[in-house]
Amino acid sequence: MSPTKVRLVINQLKGKTADEALNYLRFISKSAVNPVAKLVNSGIANAENNFQLSRNDLFIKKIIANDGPILKRSRPRAHGRSTMIAKRTSHIELILGVRPGAKPVASKAKATAESVKAKPTSAVKEEVKVVSPAEVKKEVPQTAGRGPEERGRSQKGFLNRIFNRKTG
């Protein structure tokens, strides 16, 4: 999606809280809404899980859409000509800020780590039987059909039979 289409959406989000931005994106009928909403949700999830911040304390500090790689395609035109089509992509950069005076949420990782350590693990050992390769190799039954010695003569005329010059 081109950066100009993305900029139409992201310029409306600067300075809004994360929840306000997501609510605002629900009512915009632009094609860039889905990737931008996915990016904002990802940023919120990263802030909650990696930095233990509350969703309510986050706001969009900076959001920029830059040019990405351009995929060049051609479209056939009249009189055997073709014209180039530039399929533009964009890199969206999002920086979330934290409201002043916000405190980190109690860490869930510490609680889960303690509960994991408290559980004793019991290892059950099973005996494994060692088998030699000679025991594994089985006799394969001979299937009905032509063996390598019977193939020689009948395959000789295959090309002549299929690709002959007769049309009738």
Domain ranges of the chain: 3-101
Residue 50 has pLDDT above 80, yes or no: yes
Query: If pLDDT is split at 50, 70 and 90, which confidence band does 145 have?
Result: low
**Per the structure block, which two tokens stand in for 157?**
């005329």
- Bridge partners (DSSP) of residue 59 are 17, 97
Instruction: Give strand ranges (E) for 13-150.
Output: 58-76, 82-98
Share of the chain above pLDDT 90, in %: 57
Predicted model pTM: 0.60
Query: How confident is the model at residue 36, as a pLDDT?
Result: 96
- Rounded mean pLDDT, 92-108: 81
- Asked whether residue 132 carries a pLDDT value surpassing 70, the answer given is yes
Bridge partners (DSSP) listed for residue 70: 88
* Domain 3-101 fold: Ribosomal Protein L22; Chain A (3.90.470)
Which band of pLDDT confidence, cut at 50, 70 and 90, is reported for residue 111?
low
The pair phi, psi for residue 143, each rounded to 5°, is -90, 150
Q: What is the mean pLDDT of residues 81-85?
A: 97
Per-residue pLDDT averaged across 84-92, rounded?
96
* More confidently predicted of 80 and 167: 80
Are 83 and 74 spatial neighbours (Cβ–Cβ below 8 Å)? yes
Residue count (the chain): 168
